[in-house]
Structure 1
Amino acid sequence: MEKPLHSQKVTAWCAFSAKGIIGPIWFQNQDGSTATITKERYTTTLNRFWKRLQAQHQTQLNFFWFQQDGATPHTSNIALEWLETHFCARVISRKTAHPWPAHSPDLTPLDFYLWGYLKSRVYQGSPQNLSDLKAAIGREVRRIPLATCARVVAEVKHRADLCLSRNGRYLEHVLH
């Protein structure tokens, strides 16, 4: 009996704000299989995100900031140009006027809340294939109340203040 060396997986992108979650947007090929995140695919994802952001928050676009980690596709010239065009100077990222610390997963809502929450919820239903997994992820994202999004975003300030008081050291073990 043969067993694959690596499990099948999906790669999802989400935007998280106090006003809700946009996504998931999948990184996939034309046939629906998971695709590597390249600068071109990332920029395509940003375009899909922007259309959803416009549809949901047209009158507030000039108040949104965009924060991302320093992954190579995120900080490619094409991606940074796209972000500057759409968010002007309201970008927090490596290679911008507002750099994001390189190793700070305990400061981002996606990392300290969303991905762990989704894993805890999605796998309770034991998805049997990638289609089930995608459906479960989408369903659980839609079930997160706006009030929860607002609380999670408010937690960012608390975490940032704590990080500053600890001179940038990790803080997961001191949070309560």
Structure 2
Amino acid sequence: MSKRITLFASRYCSTLDRLKETIRRKRPGLLKRCVVLQQDNATSHSANLTHQWLQRYGWEIPPHPAHSPDLASSDFRLFGPLKRHLGGMAFETEDDLINEMRNWFDNLDADFFRVCINSLLSRWQKCIDLHGDYVEKY
């Protein structure tokens, strides 16, 4: 494994550590059951280091067909609203941008995420019904 892949996988595993800690704090019973994590086939997600982390904690990763933008919830549900929110704003520093994005995420209600997850389920079913063919954006 190249040093770059190892670095990205290590950073991703650190992100998973933070996610695990957040779940432990906010939904402690969830970690006693199986956590299902949707991710794509990015190199850091498919690296051996990441697989070892996921196996250690027993997290389940549903299969994700290569090059499937239809199944990336961030592409069809997250980035559009975030882009509209940030549209027209100017930031003096990267930290200003990061703080604005954090504020935006902090102010999203649970329904935003519920709709995102439910629409992902229907998109998965459409993808299965189409034998992996693209699902039209809607």
Partner of 2:24: 54
Identity of aligned residues (%): 27
Q: Pick one of 111, 122, 125 that aligns with 1:147.
A: 111
Normalised by the length of structure 1, the TM-score is: 0.67
Alpha-carbon deviation of 1:63?
4.1
Q: Pick one of 52, 56, 63 that aligns with 1:81.
A: 52
Provide structure 1 residue ranges, at least 5 long, that are not aligned to the other structure.
1-36, 93-98
* Alignment check: 8 A CA contact 2:40 2:72 kept: no
RMSD, aligned CA:
1.7
Structure 1 segments of 4+ aligned residues over 4 angstroms from their partners? none
Higher helix share: 2
Once residues 100 and 58 of structure 2 are traced to their aligned partners in structure 1, the CA distance between those partners, rounded to angstroms, is 31
What number of residue pairs does the alignment pair up?
131
Deviations 1:4-63 (A, max 9, x none): xxxxxxxxxxxxxxxxxxxxxxxxxxxxxxxxx611111111111111111111112214
Higher strand share: 1
- Per the alignment, do residues 124 and 141 of structure 1 end up closer, same or farther by CA in structure 2, a change over 3 Å counting? farther
Partner of 2:68: 104
Structure 2 counterpart SS, 1:66? coil
Once residues 77 and 92 of structure 2 are traced to their aligned partners in structure 1, the CA distance between those partners, rounded to angstroms, is 25
Q: Pick one of 11, 32, 37 that aligns with 1:66.
A: 37
Partner of 2:132: 168
Alpha-carbon deviation of 1:116?
2.4
* Alignment check: 8 A CA contact 1:84 1:91 kept: no
Once residues 106 and 136 of structure 2 are traced to their aligned partners in structure 1, the CA distance between those partners, rounded to angstroms, is 27
